[in-house]
A and B are shown apart, each in its own frame.
Chain A
Amino acid sequence: MKTAVQAAGLFATYDIPDYFCELLNRGDSPPPDLQRVRDRLARFDLAELRRRAAAVEAQFYRLGITFTVYSDREAIDRVLPFDVIPRVLTAAEWDHVERGVQQRVRAINLFLHDIYHDRHILNDGVVPRDLVLGNANYCQAMVGLDVPGGVYVHINGTDLVRDRDGRFLVLEDNARTPSGVSYVLEDRQMMLRLMPDLARGLNIRPVDEYGPRLHRALAEVAPAGVDNPQVVLLSPGIYNAAYFEHVFLAREMGIPLVEGRDLMVEDGRVYMRTVAGPRPVHSIYRRLNDDFLDPLVFNPDSMLGVPGLVDAYRQGNVTLANAIGTGVADDKAVYAYMPRIIRYYLDEEPILTNVETHICAEREGLEYTLANIERLVVKPVGESGGYGLLIGPHATQAELDEFRALLRANPANYISQPVISLSVSPTLCPAGVEARHVDLRPFAVTGRDTWVLPGGLSRVALRKGSLVVNSSQGGGSKDTWVLAS
């Protein structure tokens, strides 16, 4: 067992948890910079911290940073909780994460190119053919299509957790339309405004480059031969849960936010409707799922998409970011093969390892899962947002039985993983500063090369003991500081 470091001041009543805590329980003495953050935080008194937290809430309310929760239709304008105590990463920790994410994105793009072209990885038997070609997200319209620069996943979010030893593990990849980056930028602004005395003099890596970097990447992958490409962000509109983020990113990039009805396809080219008539569009950052993009090719009932868009895309007249059909790469079953995929294409060992994963489509995986279900997290492979999963140790007997039946009925729909003792971070709670579980989603932007936003979204499970950090289920966010040295 590690020895807990001496706590004081704000942390006097902090119950040092039996988990890895970046600030208070690292298993070694913290680097000097981290020590400084901790000492400064310790000098705050609880009432002062609460006063500032209240000011944050008022600010966010006024700004209308909102998040629609699917199961709670009434709460259209719910404020996303923000914790005023930052989550801090050292330069060395970040270097490791950054290299790991870049490696993973490289492998994912090579994998997608391969499965939509020669399918070497399937022919060599590294990944089961059915898993890829029979995947609901595998898109026939992408077969044989060359995308600019071979980039399929321009924006990628990698969900990381830290285990009891502080080791970073990949929980899942988000290679379709990962969201949450706006909170990273907003949280930072809010943090510097409300806790300037905490940040002063520390060398914290900035995050405000995200907009220009993303814009540059999207311009880099525009169809060849276009000078000064027009980039737009395609949103489902004001009633979408992530509309705030779409607005935020469009503003940060200085590009128009368009809806499907603002775009039209004529002669295989995409135009937007302006007061001066139709104007060409070359690169589309789409925040619309594949199914809704083009009613002529996918869901014919979609009112959100643009008829003819896929045809224009296939003709190479417009770039979509991310490409269509990238969902195969972030499928929870394909995830299990990611270490092998990295080795196959890059001939390197994965820098970031996966959480140990049992594939229930395979006989051994299913048997292991059924035999150990009370110790495992069982996840449906198609869902996102923490819906429909079972956390064995927290489940009732009836829930365990129900999941056993579900597993037997449709094993290919599930994977299972051991419960990870997620790391914690001190968090302002009703009863004082307490330990709460956190994860980390770094965002990688890929144009000609891959850039990773320093830090990323730290989500925190605000309910005591909870492991579910999703914003749709009571999660909040923290500012993530990456120290430059």
Chain B
Amino acid sequence: MTQASVFPAPVVPGLRNLLSRYAESTMWLARYMERIENLARLIEVTSTSVSATNMDAGWDSVIRINADEGLFFQHHETATERSVVAFYIIDANNPDSIVSMARYARENARVLRPLISTEMWMHLNVFTRWVMELGPNDVGAGYLSSLCTRLKQDCQTHFGITEGTLYRDQAWLFYILGKNLERADQITRLIDIKYHTLLPSEVGIGSDIDMSQWTSVLRSAAAYHAFRRVLPEGMTPANIVGFLLKNDGFPRSLSTSLRSVYSVLGSLAGEYRLRHCAPIIERVEELRVTLAEQTVEDIIMRGLHEYMDWIQRELRQIQNEIAHAFWPPVLSIHSTGTGRMEQVQN
């Protein structure tokens, strides 16, 4: 005798399904760690590429990439290295700062402690505590590069431990989903904001400054050496944008991230028979098709900014549909707890 149920029996007998709250936290843990790594990368590259010329030029683009103009200029007159670095690393009032994201990552990790490996928790515990204790003395110009290196390396250590220890079930798939959605979002932001710096200015055509701007954009996406291997002679703005958007071998390109999102959703729908995946898969597939069918020249001609903007809106829509399908809001007094994460879900 078994209990009668108002809900259908599981399609895959014996399959243990992931708690919705765990799925949500897994996804956001991955997103925050990926976001921290990207921001650390961007700050490091900005600090090294601007120091040759004007100390403070280039820092405003960090603010624009994160769409933080409003909050930043409430408290600061101009975007100097000192003010931007403090705002993005140690300012706890900035929800997009590394210290805030470390706190969110930590909260998600605490939620996930029953699920994740002890090694994952131990590393996140030490890492997030360290970040949360960073102060003004840790972000001075002389320490910035090594600080960013350590932040980056800790994120990479986290991904390595996760890859090596997290059990491969739905939680793993939601983790990969979050990581790749974040990467896709970050690369389109980077291209959108940095593209103008790739264009030759009237005074500086062919000069050393241009080349160093181009390499710095590639470096902030960890793409410099990969790009050199693929296109040793072709350092043009269009080639750089094309590489970051469409190269299927580059781990952080938009096409690679979308391919991964697509395949993970396919596994959730197939292996785990989760309903509600189909419309999300369709949306991702459409993104992939528009990307594959256009050359980078077409994209630039039709308006790079508009295209990046559309992709970001679509990515947000995908995130919302995933949330709606797998952790629908609870319509009662019990719907609490996720406000902060959604707040920074730009």
Which A residues contact B (CB, under 8 angstroms)? 62-64, 223, 225-227, 238, 243, 246-247, 250-251, 256-262, 264, 266-267, 269, 271-280, 295, 303, 307, 317
Is there contact, CB below 8 Å, between A259 and B274?
no
6 nearest A-B pairs in the assembled complex, by CB-CB distance: A274-B17, A261-B334, A257-B114, A225-B1, A275-B326, A276-B17
Query: A238-B107, A303-B336, A307-B332 are contacts. A276–B10 as well, Cβ < 8 Å?
Result: yes
Bound CA–CA A256/B25 (angstroms): 14
Chain B window 236-257, contacts with chain A (Cβ cutoff 8 Å), 1 for yes, 0 for no: 0000000000000000000000
Is there contact, CB below 8 Å, between B118 and A225?
no
Is there contact, CB below 8 Å, between B114 and A251?
yes
Q: Which residues of A contact B126 (CB under 8 A)?
A: 62
Is there contact, CB below 8 Å, between A238 and B5?
no
Report B255 CB to chain A, min CB distance, Å. 27
Is there contact, CB below 8 Å, between B19 and A274?
yes
Query: A225-B1, A247-B113 are contacts. A276–B272 as well, Cβ < 8 Å?
Result: yes
Is there contact, CB below 8 Å, between B334 and A303?
yes
Query: A269-B5, A274-B20, A307-B332 are contacts. A63–B107 as well, Cβ < 8 Å?
Result: no
* Cross-interface CB contact of A256 among B11, B15, B114, cutoff 8 Å: B114
Report B99 CB to chain A, min CB distance, Å. 16
Bound CA–CA A276/B335 (angstroms): 19
Q: Which residues of B contact A225 (CB under 8 A)?
A: 1-3
Q: Which residues of A contact B332 (CB under 8 A)?
A: 307
Most chain A CB atoms below 10 A, which of B2, B114, B122, B326: B114
B6 at the interface (CB under 8 A from A): yes
Residue of A nearest to B12 (CB): A276
Interface of B is mostly: loop
Most chain B CB atoms below 10 A, which of A257, A271, A273, A276: A276
Interface contact tally, CB-CB below 8 A: 97
Bound CA–CA A332/B20 (angstroms): 41
Bound CA–CA A295/B333 (angstroms): 10
Seed contacts A261-B21, A275-B23, A278-B7; 10 additional CB < 8 Å A-B pairs: A64-B121, A243-B110, A250-B114, A256-B19, A259-B21, A273-B330, A274-B19, A274-B20, A275-B268, A303-B336
* Cross-interface CB contact of A279 among B17, B111, B336, cutoff 8 Å: B17
Is there contact, CB below 8 Å, between A303 and B6?
no
Query: A247-B113, A274-B20, A275-B20 are contacts. A261–B275 as well, Cβ < 8 Å?
Result: no
B186 at the interface (CB under 8 A from A): no
Chain B window 15-29, contacts with chain A (Cβ cutoff 8 Å), 1 for yes, 0 for no: 101111111000000
Q: Which residues of A contact B142 (CB under 8 A)?
A: none
Is there contact, CB below 8 Å, between B3 and A317?
yes
Q: Which residues of A contact B110 (CB under 8 A)?
A: 238, 243
Bound CA–CA A224/B334 (angstroms): 30
B170 at the interface (CB under 8 A from A): yes
Query: A62-B126, A303-B333 are contacts. A274–B18 as well, Cβ < 8 Å?
Result: yes
Is there contact, CB below 8 Å, between B125 and A258?
no
Residue of B nearest to A227 (CB): B2
Bound CA–CA A155/B121 (angstroms): 28
Q: Which residues of A contact B170 (CB under 8 A)?
A: 275
Is there contact, CB below 8 Å, between A247 and B122?
no
Residue of B nearest to A263 (CB): B334
Bound CA–CA A226/B4 (angstroms): 11
Most chain B CB atoms below 10 A, which of A267, A273, A278, A307: A273
Report B266 CB to chain A, min CB distance, Å. 15
Most chain A CB atoms below 10 A, which of B6, B107, B273, B334: B334
Q: Which residues of A contact B11 (CB under 8 A)?
A: 276
Report B275 CB to chain A, min CB distance, Å. 7
Is there contact, CB below 8 Å, between B2 and A275?
no
B339 at the interface (CB under 8 A from A): no
B232 at the interface (CB under 8 A from A): no
Is there contact, CB below 8 Å, between B275 and A63?
no
Report A355 CB to chain B, min CB distance, Å. 38
Report B243 CB to chain A, min CB distance, Å. 35
Residue of A nearest to B122 (CB): A62
Is there contact, CB below 8 Å, between A269 and B334?
no
Interface residues of B in 104-120 (CB under 8 A from A): 107, 110-111, 113-114, 118
Q: Which residues of B contact A266 (CB under 8 A)?
A: 6-7
Query: A62-B122, A62-B125 are contacts. A226–B2 as well, Cβ < 8 Å?
Result: yes
Q: Which residues of A contact B335 (CB under 8 A)?
A: 261
Bound CA–CA A163/B337 (angstroms): 49
Report B80 CB to chain A, min CB distance, Å. 34
Query: A238-B110, A303-B333 are contacts. A275–B18 as well, Cβ < 8 Å?
Result: yes
Residue of B nearest to A261 (CB): B334
Is there contact, CB below 8 Å, between A260 and B19?
no
Is there contact, CB below 8 Å, between B125 and A261?
no
Report A197 CB to chain B, min CB distance, Å. 25
Is there contact, CB below 8 Å, between B17 and A275?
yes
Report B15 CB to chain A, min CB distance, Å. 8
Report A25 CB to chain B, min CB distance, Å. 39
Bound CA–CA A317/B3 (angstroms): 9
Q: Which residues of A contact B273 (CB under 8 A)?
A: 276
Is there contact, CB below 8 Å, between B330 and A261?
yes
16 contacts between A and B (CB under 8 A): A62-B122, A62-B126, A63-B125, A225-B3, A258-B19, A261-B330, A269-B5, A273-B21, A273-B327, A273-B330, A275-B17, A275-B268, A276-B17, A277-B275, A279-B17, A303-B334
Q: Which residues of A contact B121 (CB under 8 A)?
A: 63-64
Report A473 CB to chain B, min CB distance, Å. 25
Bound CA–CA A243/B114 (angstroms): 10
Report A369 CB to chain B, min CB distance, Å. 45
Q: Which residues of A contact B22 (CB under 8 A)?
A: 256
Q: Which residues of B contact A63 (CB under 8 A)?
A: 118, 121-122, 125
Q: Which residues of B contact A247 (CB under 8 A)?
A: 113-114
Interface residues of B in 317-339 (CB under 8 A from A): 326-327, 330, 332-337
Residue of A nearest to B272 (CB): A276
Residue of B nearest to A63 (CB): B122
Is there contact, CB below 8 Å, between B334 and A226?
no
Report B270 CB to chain A, min CB distance, Å. 13
Bound CA–CA A89/B211 (angstroms): 74
